[in-house]
A = this chain, B = another copy of it.
Amino acid sequence: MRVAFLGLGGMGMAMAGNIAKAGHEIVVWNRTRKAPQGFDAKVADSIAGAVGEAEAVATMLADDHAVESVVDGGLLDALPAGAVHVSMSTISIAAARRLTESHQARGRAYVAAPVFGRPDMAAVQKLWVVTAGPAAAVERVRPVLQAVGRGITEYGEEPWHANLVKLGNNMMLGAMLETFGELYALMRKAGVAPERFLEAANSLFQSPVYANYGGMAAERRHEPALFKATLGLKDMRLGLAAADEFGVPMPLMGLARDSLLQAIAHGGADKDWSVLALAAQKRAGLD
């Protein structure tokens, strides 16, 4: 199908490449012009130029503001009747609702499809997609979703539900990082090396995510950043904002956010968000 892909950051470039390789006819656009890396695609000069002929328009942008700027700055005006905008960015549930409404008001289809994974996983088509939106629209963009990931979970008709699930999973990662931080602090003060403790944790959890993040935290290997602390903080905030809206106390998530604030206050802003795990160790008097 004819796909427009807007947003060629680390994630977007890899995802667009996989869509192209799946045989779709793809046009790309980025705020600052970028050439496709490792795949062939037309490069549009404007949002409207990218979107005008598309059957599916995928956006992969930094945050609420970036998505809403692109939508209001040409996407929605140019989106053909019958085309579907599939929004793959991690955004707030409030923005997801505003976008749903603005598309509905114009008679256009909006689907949320945020993805799990980092650029290295995107490159090898290992993302996981969570999606929600009107069933027919989801069906139409399914080939695009299949092209970027190893699987899809669907969350019904309300696009913002997919964004909430995505934020919820990122909060789970934040909680896991704080968990590692506290345990590593204890182990270090008791004379057990974090790397060694991690072996036991891995034999228990048998999770590649624990192995990966637990290893980064054990080795204090936070650079280069795969996902920056400030981006992690953004997602923790969006998750906690959703909790606040629904009147749900999430004290553990509050602590994980606080540890991330602490890590950022101690110079971690541009490091990988696994620096969260250092906060508990500093509180315990460790370097």
Residues of A within 8 A of B (CB): 93, 116, 128, 130, 151, 153, 155, 158, 161, 164-166, 168-169, 171-173, 175-176, 178-179, 182-183, 185-187, 189-192, 196-197, 199-201, 203-210, 237, 239, 242-244, 246-259, 261-262, 264-266, 279-280, 282-285
Give A218 Cβ to nearest chain B Cβ, in Å.
13
Offer 24 A-B interface pairs, CB within 8 angstroms, sorted by A. A153-B199, A158-B191, A161-B191, A165-B187, A168-B200, A169-B204, A171-B179, A171-B182, A175-B175, A175-B179, A176-B176, A179-B252, A182-B251, A182-B253, A186-B239, A186-B242, A186-B246, A249-B257, A249-B284, A251-B251, A252-B252, A254-B255, A258-B283, A262-B285
Cβ of A172: which chain B residues have Cβ within 8 Å of it? 179, 183, 201, 204-205
Give A257 Cβ to nearest chain B Cβ, in Å.
8
| Cβ–Cβ contact A255 & B251, under 8 A | yes
Copies of this subunit = 4
Partner of A168, one of B116, B197, B208, B266: B197
| Cβ–Cβ contact A165 & B200, under 8 A | yes
With A153-B200, A206-B209 already in contact, 15 other A-B pairs whose C-beta atoms are closer than 8 Å: A116-B203, A116-B204, A128-B203, A158-B191, A161-B192, A164-B192, A169-B201, A172-B201, A175-B176, A205-B207, A247-B265, A248-B265, A255-B255, A261-B283, A279-B283
Q: Given A168-B186, A250-B258, A265-B285, does the pair A205, B200 have CB atoms closer than 8 Å?
A: no
A interface: dominant SS: helix
